[in-house]
Amino acid sequence: MKLGWLFRGLRTGVVTTRYPNSLDDELAGIRGIPYIDVTAGHDTACEKTCAQSCLSGALRYDESSRVLELKEEACIMCGLCAKACPHDAVAMSSDVELAVLKQRVRNDVNRLFRRSLHLRHVDAGSCNGCESEIKMLMSPFYDLHRLGIFISTSPRAADGLLITGPVTRAMEAPLRRTYEATADPKLVIATGACASTGGIFAGGSLTHEGAGAVLPVDVTIPGCPPTPIALLHGLLLALGRARQRAGAR
Amino acid sequence: MTGWLLAAAALAYGCGAVSAIVLPVRATRHVSLAFAAIASIAAFATGIAALFGGTFDATFETGLPLGPLTLHADSFGGLFLAIVGLVGFAASIYAIDYLRPHGTHGLRGTLAVLNVLLLSLVGIVFAGDGFSFLIAWEVMAALSYLAVLSEHDDREVRNAAYLMIAISEIGTVLIVVAIVMLAYAGGGLGFDALRTGAHMMSIAQRDWVFALCVLGFGAKIGILPLQLWLPEAHPAAPSHISAVLSAVIVKMGVYGLLRFGVDLLGPVDAWLGLATLSLGALTALLGVLYAAVANDCKRLLAYSTIENVGIIVAAIGLGVMMRGSGLPILAAIVLMFALYHVLGHATYKGLLFLGAGAIAEGTGTRDLEAMGGLMRRMPGTAFLCLIGSLSIAALPPFAGFTSEWGFLETLLQSFPLQSTLVKLLLGLATAVIALAAALAVLVFVRFYGTAFLAMPRSAAAENAREAGVSMRVGMAVLAVAALFLGVLPTFVLTALDRVTAPMLGVSVVDRVVPPVFTNYPGEYAPLVSLGGAVFHNLGLPVKGLIVIPAAHFATIGSPSYLTIALLLALGIVWLVMRAIPVRGPERTAPVWAGGIPTFSGRKEYGPLAYANPIRLIFSLFYRSRAIYEPLDLAARGGASRIEYRQEIPEPLWRPLYRPLVRFGDTLTARIRLLQSGSVNAYVFYIFVIVLIALIVRAL
Amino acid sequence: MIARRAAGNRAIVESDGSSFHRVFSEIANTPETRFGDLFATDDREDGGGFSVHAMFSIPTSPGWVEIDVALSDELPGFASLAMTYPALGWYEREIAEQFGIGVEGHPRLRRLTLPANWPRGYYPMRRDRAWNERTPFQEELDEIPALVEAPSGVVDYPLGPVRSGVVESAHYTLRTVGEELLDCALQLFYKHRGVEKRAEGLRLEHALLVAERVSGTSAFNNSLAFVRALEDAAAVEVPARGQWLRTLFGELERIYNHLSAFADLAQATGLAVAQAQFEMLKEKQLRLHGVLTGHRYLFGTNAIGGVACDLSRERIAMVRNGCKALREWLKPLEAMYLSTPSHVDRLLGTGILTPEDARLFGAVGPIARAAGIDRDLRRDHPYAAYGEVDFAVPLETGGDAMARTRVRFAEVHEAIRVVEQVCDGIPGGSTCLAGVRPSPGTTGFGWAESSHGETLSWVAVAANGTLCRYRVRPASFANWQAFAVAVPGHNILTDFPVIEQSFNLSVAEADR
């Protein structure tokens, strides 16, 4: 019986993605952040319906400076803005590698963790979508371990935290305790729109505005949920092995 | 020299007893115990002197019909007297602080009994004839009964003491029969007469005497099937008495068995030795299995005593078997290790019982379930009990290791024997002993871990107080002795040879402790250059530090060198750690428990939970039942009250003891019919007896 | 006073507080009736007081009965039913602490959904409380409430909320005596985000976004129940093609969730290759979803009035080929999975949920079907196009982990069959009605059979067209109570992960 599984595995062959070297069809069809064509009637006839249709506050129109801002971290990629715009000025791209470096990671930390990073995952109130994507990271298609990144079993053995969810009030204290239980130096990576900014649950009486409201966050990875490719990009960004592609902070 | 020391010891014990009764109550404790301590030192010195050659004989004419009372001090008796002195000293010092909260109620009696008890033990080991031995034996039995009864208000204590003396008397009856058989054949009660008597008996009769000795002394030692009293009586006594009971009085049974069954009796059939070995092995297994599930700390130690005496009796059985098969060298080696185990057990079991007394007093409870975290609150006691636990778990380089290792090694030396069946049975016995030894490690990990480590599981444990100074000093004395026995086994083995050589006629010290330090020619010459050059002719009382527990070159080991190596290794590690610079600030953080706010003692495994897998694995053996009832159906899921308890019946209670007790009850009920109270009936009985006597006389 | 009326897809019985017990028991004791949901609404702004609503499914038309109980607005309260119907325990506690409605006679009225430092007397679901009100923190009391004192020797082994894998946060106190599990106390609601409150006052499209994110892995079916409730309130019929596409996506969601369950269970028993194989199959499904709808977890696929995206003929062929490939892969995997001794030994007899307990605690979905409860909303109360395709509902009676696994495998096969039938028989036409707007003041009820079981949704539309009450009762909320009673029994500590993964419940759903 054991041999049956062995042969099954061998017959399946290698299916691992070649990311970050190249991408095949891992992102085929996936909705990414919206691209806004600012020339198409923005100043004159634009009623800013896109900003009104954004529930998570990613698209915002600043009256004073008359600028339409897209905060990628909060975008849940629902596509309502694209549907709402009467001028077809908004279209959904397939851009998902949106991780943002919130604070410069110290050089020595970078060197320490560059080739070997152990993260402790904390679910601070997610909808389980982010957890599912993180679990997919460890599947043969993405194989997180080949990049030297592991999910550790205890914060004591971890180099950092991987946080999902907007940090509900009930999970605030356990999250803090997990942070205290991890030895310095450590990284904090907030995964998903909820952990980055609170997502559509930001500012509730039962939720915080993401992990950044409770702990110092090093990297945020937007998405709802962020696809495994987006997660890989964010993790490599934290290790200094990838470049940030999201807008300037 | 020996005589003077002996007289000093006897005098001091006497003074101790007298001062306990005569002095005002407030001073008795210190004075009487001081006398007991001084007497014990003298007794220890006497024993050592006798061990190293200072024999001594004395005769006291008393006008009693069975002859004068003789004292005969030889190396064998000296060894056991040294044990009495050592443990007596430790117990006396310990009792100074231990008895302080006892109050004055019954204090005089306790102290006097202690002194006279120890004196009676002197009488047992140095008795020179059967009569004096039996007198001292009975005095010891009576006094140990009184000693256990210190808390006689408690009904359970009274029952335990009664059980102890009842079974002790059964054993005494058997011993008396054995001695009478020997005396009848030899024509006298002196040891020389008994020896000639044994010589003149047929081998079948010797077998009977040996069996009677095993069972008779076994009642005092606590082997199957007469072990029922031990787990009741040893915990019931106050802790310093428990230590004396377990460490010394049980060994008096071993002394008696060795003296009458091995020394005086001479060779017996090998199969009897095998039977004794099996009995000892089963006792050991039973003891350790029940120790594994005991939740009362002193009960655990009592069952552990059963395990250890099982090992001792098994070793004696093996020695007898080897002697009966014509292998005196192996027999001497086995007996040497049996005596080693006696020594070791006396020290570390005494230490552990004193320690159990300390934690029972510090927390106010004997229940292991309510302890935990005592290492922080009772650091001295914790450290000393650690030495005791490591020793009894037989981990090198501590005391129990050499004796158990040596015994297991000699068990495996069965190839010179002829019969395949015997070798098979020896193999089985080895497996059982090895299992018992392994389970002993579990028992003491459980004992030490649940009592001292982790977090306190009750308010009593949280507020535990450290034991008094004298208690810790008493324990430290035994700890030092245990460490000595562990780290310097070759010194001890060289001394033990003085006991086994006259008993069995061969000196095996050269085989067991190879002469690496001297220029001894022969097979060890290459080893001499390794170590001998350094210690050559240093005048140490040993020939080397290596132990070879077999007749032929089988395995070698050296706890002494191991200790040196361990200390070196630890030292190097410590130095290296000091040399490496620490990178970054240090931070203390609470225990990680999944993000919950606090981690309390309630959330840790206690003794019941730790032992549950053992209980499940051996459930057929224990015949235990776990009763689990979830009450309150509607609010299940953590809200319900559950009822859970485990019932583990006493070993052999149902198959053996209960039928016996019932039989005894019905028998005595029938006999009581004779006590009708009618004078006519009694006159009739007298008439019948006189008639029978006349008829017998006429025949 | 009891009045009856019909509304959309259910019959409504109006009662007052004093007759509530009688009416409830009457309906509950009718054979073939199944309890659905118990929740409260705050109608004080619309001129009423507080109301408690109970949903039942009945075998006869219209299929659902709703009991509406009007309570006073000053000191609302009703007598607890939890002593007679243990399944109601959590529902009543939630009503009490979210609305401040008194429940007399509840055996264990303690904090359930709200965090430990929540201020006393602050009832978040009342309409006068805003979603984003910053409440004052209170000193944290008993974050883990003390349990009934355990007998001596029994250990309260704490597990969570932060555990050792990539799992959801929940706290379990396992009452164990050295390996043997005696009891399990659950502490969920660490992940309570206040989803129902979030949806209040939102535009319907935004509320749909919230409904999808109740549980990311049941996004389609939970949002399906929601939009069907709105369609019921608006009394519209979704076009046929939209119904058939809903069936297709509902089954696709079921397939990948069950594959994920097999992978998780293999992880719990250490069968690493099986875990990798099923994870690969799941990833292939997720990529298929991405191609079909633009989102791997089918977010944004449901719309009010139908389905937001259509499938071209090529796409339908792609789905059909995918089904064939999946079936090929599954055949040998399933055979090996169900016969590997090291794996199967840990499933047999583990975590038995007896049929009686399943009924008593209101279990739904595959775990109930594994315990002998023959119920499936797709067959018993057909929606979307389920009435027009042929599929079987598997049933096992063992109630152990093996039975649950077998049920899931059978469901995967049936799901593939349904998807193939949809690919073959899907009609043309539009997929979505435009401009569906329920009238202000209407209420609606919708349901769906997600991969975890029945998910029920009840909505009320406010005067200005936004949502004024969103009630979702996902399947896991009902099933967690059954989980706690499946853990004791003849299980040992190392069986716990197997039981947990064989149940494969969602904490996010239950906590909302």
Which ipTM did the prediction report?
Answer: 0.91
Within a domain: residue A217? yes
Q: Note the pLDDT of residue A137.
A: 93
Q: Which of C420, C501, C424 is nearest to C255 (CA)?
A: C420
pLDDT band at C29 (very low <50, low <70, confident <90, very high): confident
Q: Hey, how many other C-beta atoms are within 10 angstroms of the C-beta on B677? A: 6
Q: Which of residues 459-498 of C touch A (CB under 8 A)?
A: none
Domain assignment present for A247: no
Q: What is the rounded CA–CA span in Å between residue C228 and residue C208?
A: 11
Output the pLDDT for position A248: 46
Question: Is the same domain home to A157 and A220?
Answer: yes
d(CA A165, CA A209): 10
User: Cβ contacts of residue B43 below 8 Å, gap of 6+?
Assistant: B5, B6, B9, B81, B82, B84, B85, B88, B118, B122
| 8 Å CB contact of B584 and A154 | no
| C493 lies within 8 A of chain B by CB | no
Report the distance separating Cα C482 and Cα B637, nearest Å: 9
- Count Cβ–Cβ pairs < 8 Å, chain A vs chain C: 202
What is d(CA C401, CA A24) in angstroms, rounded to the nearest whole number?
38
Residues A62 and A152 grouped into a single domain: no
Judged by CB atoms within 8 Å, which residues 578-617 of B form the interface with A?
A: 584-585, 587, 589-590, 592, 594-597
Whole-number Å distance between alpha carbons of B137 and B257: 13
**Residue C129 DSSP SS3:** coil
Q: What is the mean pLDDT of residues C390-412?
A: 92
Q: Are residues A76 and A177 in the same domain?
A: no
DSSP classification of residue C147: P
Is A7 part of any domain? no
| Residue B638 structure tokens | 């953590």
Query: How many domains are there within chain A?
Result: 2
Q: Note whether A224 and A113 are same-domain residues.
A: yes
> In which band, very low, low, confident or very high, does the pLDDT at B633 lie, cut at 50, 70 and 90?
low
Q: Which amino acid is at C367?
A: I
Task: Supply the pLDDT for residue A249.
Answer: 35
Across the interface, which of B584, B585, B589 has its CB nearest the CB of A181? B589
Between B35 and A87, residue with greater pLDDT: B35
Judge contact between C454 and C380, C-beta under 8 A: no
Q: Tens of pLDDT along C38-59?
A: 999 888 877 778 889 999 988 8
State the nearest Cα–Cα gap between B22 and chain C, in angstroms: 47
Which has more pLDDT, C1 or C500?
A: C500
A61 lies in some domain: yes
| One-letter amino acid of A188 | V
In this structure, are A81 and A160 located in the same domain? no
Specify the pLDDT at position B433.
Answer: 94
Q: Give the residue from C196, C195, C175, C177 showing the smallest Cα distance to C185.
A: C175
How far A105 CA sits from the closest chain B CA (Å)? 17
Q: Is residue C484 classed as helix, strand or coil in its secondary structure?
A: helix
Q: What is the pLDDT of residues C430-477, one digit of tens each?
A: 888 888 888 888 889 999 999 999 999 999 998 888 888 999 999 999
Query: Within this chain, do residues A80 and A178 fall inside the same structural domain, yes or no?
Result: no
More confident residue, C14 or C262: C262
Q: Would you tell me the crossing angle of helices C240-269 and C219-234 to the nearest 10 degrees?
A: 150
Average pLDDT over residues C303-314: 89
Positive or negative CA dihedral for B401, B406, B411, B415?
A: positive
Instruction: Examine the pLDDT at B530 and tell me if it is beyond 90.
Output: no
Which chain A residues are closer than 8 Å to C290 by Cβ?
Answer: 27-30, 227
For residue A136, give its domain range. Answer: 100-238
Q: How far is A77 from chain C (nearest CA, A)?
A: 9
Nearest CA-CA distance, residue B635 and chain C, Å: 7
B608 in contact with C, Cβ within 8 Å: yes
Whether the CB-CB separation of C247 and C378 falls below 8 Å is answered with: no
* pLDDT band, residue C139 (cuts 50/70/90): low
User: Does A14 lie at the interface with C, CB-CB under 8 angstroms?
Assistant: no
| Spatial distance between the Cα atoms of C91 and C96, rounded to a whole number of angstroms | 9
d(CA A207, CA C86): 31
Tokens of B585: 């600030």
Task: Suggest the residue from C134, C141, C162 to mutate for an interface test with chain A (most A CBs closer than 10 A).
Answer: C162
Tokens encoding C297: 């977890």
> What residues contact B141, with CB distance under 8 A and at least 6 apart?
B165, B168, B169, B172
Domain end (from A68, A92, A116): A92
**Tokens describing residue C118:** 């929540």
Q: Is C282 on the interface with A (CB under 8 A)?
A: yes
Cross-chain Cβ contact A184/B595 below 8 Å: no
Burial class (CB in 10 A: 0-12, 13-18, 19+), B407: buried
Residues A134 and A114 in one domain: yes
A107 — phi, psi (to 5°)?
A: -60, -40
The DSSP H or E segment spanning B386 is helix B379-392
Contact yes or no for C148 and B630 at CB 8 A: no
C31-to-C21, C28, C376 alpha-carbon distances in Å: 17, 8, 17
Backbone φ and ψ of C296, nearest 5°: -65, -30
pLDDT in tens, A62-85: 777 777 788 888 889 888 888 888
Contact between A69 and A60 under an 8 Å Cβ cutoff? The reply is: yes
Residues within 8 A of B (CB atoms), C 55-94 only: 82-83, 86, 89
To the nearest whole Å, the CA of B255 is away from the closest chain C CA by: 41
Q: Measured at the alpha carbon of residue B552, what is the angle toward residues B549 and B558, in degrees to the nearest 5?
A: 35
The domain that holds A61 is classified in CATH as 3.30.70.20
| Position B634 confidence tier, pLDDT thresholds 50, 70, 90 | very low
What is the sign of the dihedral through the CA atoms of B603, B606, B608 and B614?
positive
C162 falls in which pLDDT band (50, 70, 90)? very high
Alpha helices in C85-164 (DSSP H): 89-99
How many contacts (CB atoms, under 8 Å) link A and B? Answer: 22
The answer to whether B377 and B424 are in contact (CB under 8 A) is: no
Task: Copy the structure tokens of residue B298.
Answer: 């002193």
* Cα(C276)–Cα(C289) distance, integer angstroms: 20
How high is the pLDDT of residue B169?
A: 92
CB-CB under 8 Å, B587 with A173 = no
Residues of chain C above pLDDT 70, percent: 97
Of B584, B585, B592, the CB nearest to A154: B592
Task: Provide the token pair at B80.
Answer: 């056991």
**pLDDT confidence band for B551 (50 / 70 / 90):** low
Half-sphere exposure of B307 (CA within 13 A, CB side): 32
Domain membership of residue A10 (yes or no) is no
Is residue A57 included in any domain, yes or no?
Answer: yes
The two structure tokens encoding residue C284: 């292939």
> Are residues A179 and A222 both part of a single domain?
yes
How far apart (Å, rounded) are the C-alpha atoms in residues A92 and A85?
12
User: Of A44, A75, A92, at which residue does a domain stop?
Assistant: A92
Could you tell me the domains of chain C? 3-104 (3.30.460.80), 195-199+238-437+472-511 (1.10.645.10)
Instruction: With beta carbons under 8 A apart, name residues in chain B contacting A184.
Output: 584-585, 587
Q: How far apart are CA A117 and CA B392, in angstroms?
A: 45
Q: How far apart are CA C403 and CA C372, in angstroms?
A: 10
Least confident of A190-204, B351-365, B414-428, C246-260: B414-428
Tokens read off for B72: 């005969």
Bridge partners, C104 (sequence order): C79
Q: What is the pLDDT of residues B236-264, one digit of tens each?
A: 888 888 888 888 999 999 999 999 988 88
Q: Is A105 in CB contact (< 8 Å) with chain B? A: no
Strand partners for A91 = A35
pLDDT tens by residue, B471-482: 999 999 999 999
Asked whether residue A28 is assigned to any structural domain, the reply reads: no
Report pTM.
Answer: 0.85
> Two tokens at A17?
């993605």
Q: Which pLDDT does position B171 carry in this prediction?
A: 92
C459 pairs with which residues across the strands? Answer: C444, C470
Residue B151's Cβ-count burial label (10 Å; 0-12, 13-18, 19+) is middle
Are residues C93 and C106 in contact, defined by beta-carbon separation less than 8 angstroms?
yes
Q: What is the CATH number of the domain that holds A205?
A: 3.40.50.12280
* Burial of residue B424 (number of CB atoms within 10 Å: 0-12, 13-18, 19+): exposed
The pLDDT score that the predictor gives to residue C245 is: 93
Q: A130 and A229: one domain?
A: yes
Query: Is the domain of A160 the same as that of A127?
Result: yes
Contact check, Cβ <8 Å, B613/C178:
yes
Any domain includes A18: no
- The token pair at B611 is 């032992």
> Averaged over B79-107, what is the pLDDT?
87
